[in-house]
């Protein structure tokens, strides 16, 4: 076994790229769940973002409009879910699954003319002296803007939930919508904003897949990334920092095992591939054994002001 | 995804079932796909063949399909549903549908089943496959001739005989023209996951490979190779010509259309019988995509010569002397492999490193 051909620098750089789509989707979904809404449509919103982002980027010949359009499209799609579940009080689980099915079908339809095309991809950011640092320059400071944006987003979400009044209201709505309503907060409005934010994040994650990570459009290309994002939120027990850890862990294990194989190491591939899920189950067991699961108390429960 | 296709499939079934009454009972052919029809590779070609069947028979045939059906227990449900909806012949187009196909076939003795790339048959279950390893021999030849780092990356899907055959065939022919060549094999454990396939390609490239061979279905490794530059690839299952002339320098193309037309015709005529078909370059089931200009003239000429020899049956890709990985003799000088050993191949040939996962 010769592991010297694995460059740790490139490995970590790859992990950062491969974790970014699920990180974006997961941090968005975490905010949604913090507001007490369970949106299982992450996969559908991601793939819609992937196809819309790709289509717009190809037509505009620039990636940035692609990302913006992806966020917008997925936020709109999420709002369809929002209107159905918050105003018409449809079942959140069923509607979320419906959203995934709808997104997959819609994206296949939109994407047909774009199969096999090449997209403009995001350039690596030049961070001046930082990018020139030995080792760390290549490892951490020569990525594209979205990698940093996703990390900044995690930081922003953490700060928002922990330190701001609006964040406190969002958490209150998620913990007890009746109490929040009694205090005069607009429960439905808060949730709709959170849902739209979650959609926009999932859209960015999807667009990152089709514009940077793969980069091309293929039908069904998210291949379950949205479900992994949902798992990460649970794994992270609804905390922003742990979402980042979870995303890097999930992304990291995949890249690590592929690299180990490429270098010729004898690794139990199936076991390594399954390990993030095993860890998630383990975390769930530990959480429930401790009795404090960290899930917002109103998660998935419908709210109506009359009740 | 599964639910979507289930719903879409159910809708199609309902529509076609309605139409069936209106017509003079056309033959209904069903197709079960492992990926989406837009994958640009494996499923794309099967679907192209389905369309060819429609084209050939017009109103005399109806086709239904269900895409992205997971291999394993879930497949049984999808196949059962298709049989219940009145399909006369069902093509299950992935290795992992083998046991589900056999199980459903037992319950529907009047329905004909065609399982791709498997080895279990019954009175109403045929198997069919293509000798992809012939195409792999040509890929190996080009890859061995063109690599500069002497490292060839191979994205494998699942450790099944078909994939192992491909690896062995490519390796033997790369080694023949370039004794220093080394293979790095990555098992992706998926047929279709563009992000993972791209990651696998990148991992191989970062580890020094300058040729990527793939046995997965999407075009993502091609895109990753293109991005890296100085890497060559081969189209898999479909031509993937949108990546020509570089990185894609040639391809293996699966052409299922003649076979599907033939089998649907047999159902119409009432002559359908269970059989085992394994066609190669000669019969046209395995096509070799155009070898691009990025390949040096002499290498291209050699590759075409090899193709001609394979087509005429003059040369067998597994001709001894060939040893197994552990050094034991597999084929004596001049001996060629029997189909039986090839169909059950579960070992690497001598020179390949690493173990086959189980």
What is the tens place of the pLDDT at every residue in B96-108?
Answer: 999 999 999 999 9
Could you say which of A101, A218, A258 has the minimum Cβ distance to residue B38?
A218
Separation of alpha carbons B73 and B97, rounded Å: 9
pLDDT by residue for chain A (307 residues), tens only, comes to 466 677 788 888 889 988 999 999 999 999 999 999 999 999 999 999 999 999 999 999 999 999 999 999 999 999 999 999 999 999 999 999 999 999 999 999 999 888 777 778 777 777 777 777 777 877 788 788 999 999 999 999 999 999 999 999 999 999 999 999 999 999 999 999 999 999 999 999 999 999 988 888 888 888 889 998 998 998 888 999 999 999 998 888 888 888 888 887 777 777 777 777 787 788 778 877 877 667 899 998 999 887 5
User: Considering only CA atoms, which of B31, B36, B42 is closest in space to residue B68?
Assistant: B36
DSSP state of B122: B
Cα of B185 to nearest chain A Cα, Å? 6
Separation of alpha carbons A131 and A144, rounded Å: 12
Cα of B181 to nearest chain A Cα, Å? 14
Do residues B176 and B89 share a domain?
Answer: no
B296, B143 Cβ separation under 8 angstroms: no
Do residues B164 and B19 share a domain?
Answer: no
3-state secondary structure of B269: helix
- Better pLDDT: A249 or B114: B114
Spell out which residues of chain B touch residue A270, defining contact as CB-CB under 8 Å. Answer: 189, 357
Q: Percent of chain B scored above 70 by pLDDT? A: 93
Could you say which of A112, A254, A268 has the minimum Cβ distance to residue B199?
A254
Taking residue B44's Cβ as centre, other Cβ atoms within 10 Å add up to 23
Give me the pLDDT at residue B291, please: 93
Q: Which helix (H) or strand (E) holds A273?
A: helix A269-290
Contact at CB, B195 and A5, closer than 8 angstroms: no
3-state secondary structure of B234: strand
Contact at CB, A213 and B38, closer than 8 angstroms: no
Do residues B192 and B302 share a domain?
Answer: yes
The answer to whether residue B229 sits within a structural domain is yes
Separation of alpha carbons B285 and B260, rounded Å: 11
ipTM above 0.95, yes or no: no
Task: Take residue A113 and report the two structure tokens written for it.
Answer: 């003319």
- Domain boundary, last residue among B130, B165, B186: B130
Three-state SS annotation for B316-334: CCCECCEEECCCCEEECCC
Q: Write the CB contacts of A132 (distance below 8 Å, at least 6 apart in sequence).
A: none
- Domain boundary, last residue among B105, B130, B155: B130
Residue B193: which CATH number? 3.40.50.2300
Do residues B113 and B184 share a domain?
Answer: no
Separation of alpha carbons A260 and B1, rounded Å: 30
Separation of alpha carbons A152 and A155, rounded Å: 5
Give me the pLDDT at residue B16, please: 47
Could you say which of B199, B208, B218 has the minimum Cβ distance to residue A18?
B199
Give me the pLDDT at residue A307, please: 57
The answer to whether residue B190 sits within a structural domain is yes
Burial class (CB in 10 A: 0-12, 13-18, 19+), A64: middle
Separation of alpha carbons A250 and B279, rounded Å: 41
- Domain boundary, last residue among B130, B145, B177: B130
Separation of alpha carbons B222 and A188, rounded Å: 46
Integer angstrom CA distances of residue A228 from A41, A107, A223, A224, B77: 12, 19, 10, 7, 25
- Better pLDDT: B35 or B17: B35
What is the tens place of the pLDDT at every residue in B192-229?
Answer: 889 899 999 999 998 899 999 999 988 899 989 988 88
Q: Which helix (H) or strand (E) holds A223?
A: none
Positive/negative CA dihedral, A285, A287, A289, A291:
negative
Contact at CB, B192 and A220, closer than 8 angstroms: yes
Give me the pLDDT at residue B2, please: 53
What is the tens place of the pLDDT at every residue in B289-322?
Answer: 999 999 999 999 999 999 999 999 999 999 989 9
Spell out which residues of chain A touch residue B201, defining contact as CB-CB under 8 Å. Answer: none
Burial class (CB in 10 A: 0-12, 13-18, 19+), B299: middle
Domain housing B181: 132-253+288-343
Which spans in A35-133 are helix H? Answer: 42-60, 63-82, 92-111, 129-132
Give me the pLDDT at residue B289, please: 92
Give me the domains of chain A, ranges plus CATH numbers.
8-290 (1.10.3470)
Separation of alpha carbons A177 and A202, rounded Å: 25
Average pLDDT score over residue span B80-94: 95
Taking residue A151's Cβ as centre, other Cβ atoms within 10 Å add up to 17
Number of domains forming the structure of chain B: 2
């Amino acid at each position: 076994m010769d592991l010297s051909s694995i460059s740790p620098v490139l490995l970590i750089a790859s992990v950062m790229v491969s974790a970014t789509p699920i990180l974006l989707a997961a941090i968005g979904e975490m905010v949604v769940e913090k507001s007490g809404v369970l949106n299982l449509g992450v996969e559908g919103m991601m793939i819609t973002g992937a196809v819309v982002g790709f289509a717009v980027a190809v037509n505009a010949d620039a990636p940035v409009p692609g990302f913006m359009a992806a966020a917008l499209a997925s936020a709109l799609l999420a709002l369809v879910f929002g209107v159905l579940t918050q105003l018409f009080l449809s079942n959140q689980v069923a509607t979320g699954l419906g959203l995934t099915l709808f997104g997959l079908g819609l994206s296949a339809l939109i994407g047909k003319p774009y199969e096999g095309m090449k997209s403009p991809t995001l350039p690596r950011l030049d961070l001046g002296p930082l990018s020139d640092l030995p080792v760390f320059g290549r490892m951490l400071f020569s990525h594209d803007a979205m990698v940093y944006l996703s990390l900044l987003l995690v930081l922003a979400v953490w700060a928002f939930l922990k330190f701001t009044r609006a964040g406190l209201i969002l958490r209150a709505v998620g913990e007890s919508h009746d109490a929040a309503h009694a205090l005069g907060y607009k429960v439905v409005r808060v949730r709709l904003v959170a849902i739209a934010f979650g959609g926009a994040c999932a859209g960015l994650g999807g667009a990152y897949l089709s514009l940077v990570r793969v980069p091309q459009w293929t039908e069904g290309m998210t291949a379950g990334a949205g479900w992994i994002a949902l798992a990460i939120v649970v794994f992270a027990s609804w905390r922003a920092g742990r979402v980042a850890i979870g995303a890097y862990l999930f992304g990291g294990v995949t890249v690590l095992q592929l690299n180990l194989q490429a270098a010729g190491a004898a690794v139990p591939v199936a076991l390594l591939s399954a390990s993030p899920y095993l860890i998630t189950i383990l975390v769930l067991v530990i959480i429930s054994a401790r009795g404090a699961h960290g899930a917002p108390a109103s998660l998935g429960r419908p709210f109506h002001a009359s009740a | 995804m599964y639910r979507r296709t289930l719903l879409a499939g159910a809708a199609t079934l309902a529509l076609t079932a309605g139409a069936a009454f209106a017509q003079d009972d056309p033959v209904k052919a069903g197709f079960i796909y492992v990926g989406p029809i837009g994958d640009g590779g494996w499923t794309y070609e099967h679907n192209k063949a389905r369309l060819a069947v429609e084209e050939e028979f017009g109103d005399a045939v109806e086709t239904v399909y269900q895409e992205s059906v997971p291999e394993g227990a879930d497949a049984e449900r999808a196949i059962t549903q298709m049989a219940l909806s009145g399909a006369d012949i069902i093509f299950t187009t992935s290795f992992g549908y083998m046991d589900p196909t056999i199980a459903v076939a037992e319950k529907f003795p009047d329905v004909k089943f065609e399982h791709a790339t498997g080895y279990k048959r019954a009175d109403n279950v045929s198997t069919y496959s293509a000798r992809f390893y012939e195409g792999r021999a040509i890929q190996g030849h080009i890859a061995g001739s063109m690599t500069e780092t002497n490292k060839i990356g191979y994205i494998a899907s699942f450790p099944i005989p078909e994939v192992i055959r491909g690896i062995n065939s490519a390796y033997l022919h790369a080694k023949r023209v370039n004794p220093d060549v080394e293979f790095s094999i990555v098992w992706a454990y998926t047929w279709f996951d563009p992000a993972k396939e791209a990651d696998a390609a990148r991992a191989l490239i970062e580890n020094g490979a300058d040729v990527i061979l793939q046995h997965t279905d999407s075009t993502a490794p091609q895109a990753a190779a293109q991005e890296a530059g100085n890497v060559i690839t081969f189209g898999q299952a479909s031509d993937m010509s949108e990546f020509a002339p570089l990185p894609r320098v040639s391809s293996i193309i699966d052409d299922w259309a003649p076979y599907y037309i033939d089998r649907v015709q047999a159902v119409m005529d009432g002559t359908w019988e269970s059989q085992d078909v394994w066609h190669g370059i000669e019969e046209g089931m395995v096509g070799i995509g155009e070898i691009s200009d990025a390949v040096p003239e002499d290498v291209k000429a050699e590759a075409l010569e090899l193709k001609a020899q394979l087509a005429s049956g003059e040369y067998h890709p597994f001709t001894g002397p060939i040893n197994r990985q552990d050094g034991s003799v597999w084929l004596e000088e001049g001996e060629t492999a029997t189909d039986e050993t090839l169909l059950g191949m579960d070992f690497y040939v001598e020179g390949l490193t690493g173990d086959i996962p189980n």
